[in-house]
Chain A
Amino acid sequence: MEQKNAHNHIVGYGTYIFVWLSLVALTALTVTAASFDLGNFSIVVALAIASIKGLLVLLVFMHLKFDDRIFRIFVFVAFLTLTIFLILTFADYSFIR
Chain B
Amino acid sequence: MNQIAEATVNTHVHRDDVGAKIGMWLFLFTELILFGGMFLAYAVYRFTYRDFFALASKELDVFVGLINTLVLLTSSLTMAMSITALRKGDKKLSLFFLSTTIFFAFLFLVNKYFEWSAKFEHGLFPGSNELLSLPRGEIIYFGLYYVMTGLHALHVIIGIVILVFMFVFVLKDKVNQDYYIMLENSGLYWHLVDIIWIFLFPLFYLIH
Contacts and interface: CB of A to CB of B under 8 A. Distances in A.
B32 A82 contact: yes
Contacts of A93: 44, 47
Interface residues of B, number: 43
A30 B207 CA distance: 11
Nearest to A11: B84
A54 B84 contact: no
B206 A46 contact: yes
A20 to B, nearest CB: 4
A58 B195 CA distance: 8
Nearest to A82: B36
B66 A27 contact: yes
B203 to A, nearest CB: 7
Contacts, number: 108
A12 B32 contact: no
Given A27-B69, A46-B203, A71-B21, A54 B40 contact: no
A61 B21 contact: no
B44 to A, nearest CB: 6
Contacts of A16: 77, 80-81, 84
Interface of A: 3, 7, 10-13, 16-17, 19-20, 23-24, 27, 30-31, 34, 37-39, 42, 46-47, 49-50, 53-54, 57-58, 60-63, 67-68, 70-71, 74-75, 78-79, 81-82, 85-86, 89-90, 93
